[in-house]
Amino acid sequence: MTKILIAEDNATNRELFRELLEARGYAVDEASDGPEALRMLEQAQPDLLLLDIGMPVLDGFAVVRAIRENPRLAALPVLAVTAYAMQGDRERILNSGFDGYLSKPINAKLLVKELDRLLHKGKERNATARPSEGESTEGDSISKKRAATAAGNNSSDRD
Ligand code: MN
């Protein structure tokens, strides 16, 4: 089951998100501030984080920075939700490590569309992360084969 963590300091908004997400069949966890969100990400390992920007202690920008700096969390899709409607915020948000951005009040159709897009993105990241480990092993064996071939050529040259 696809699991989504909601990090949002407003209890009414958390409830609203939970209802929207559970109605779509997602499993939902909740955090009410940034530090709690970072703890829960390590424990609950959700497929996506819905992250409010305006939160006390650690705001959304600080939380997403910590996520991108943590190798275990760096590939996690993070969708920003914010009440900020100022021009330029969208660009600032998308340049800060978030994968998407929705402004409040949340449009349920847009939310679902963004979740589909970002969950797909998360799967692609995981799929490309694994083969790269295999590639490096393959690369090693290819260079060993090349070394062996080169050694063989050398010995045939001597003959
Ligand atoms: Mn807030």
Q: Per residue in 11-68, pLDDT tens?
A: 999 999 999 999 999 999 999 999 999 999 999 999 999 999 999 899 999 999 999 9
Residue 158 pLDDT: 41
CA of 32 to the centre of ligand 1 (A): 9
Question: Could you give all domains of the chain from N- to C-terminal order, each with its CATH number?
Answer: 3-158 (3.40.50.2300)
141 CA to centre of ligand 1 in angstroms: 52
Q: What is the predicted pLDDT for the residue at 130?
A: 63
CA of residue 45 to ligand 1 center, whole Å: 22
Task: For residue 51, report the distance from its CA to the centre of ligand 1, in Å.
Answer: 9
Residues 74-90: pLDDT tens digits? 999 999 998 856 667 88
Strand order in the sheet with 78-82: 27-31, 3-7, 48-52, 78-82, 100-103
- For residue 108, give the nearest of 10, 27, 26, 20 by alpha carbon: 20
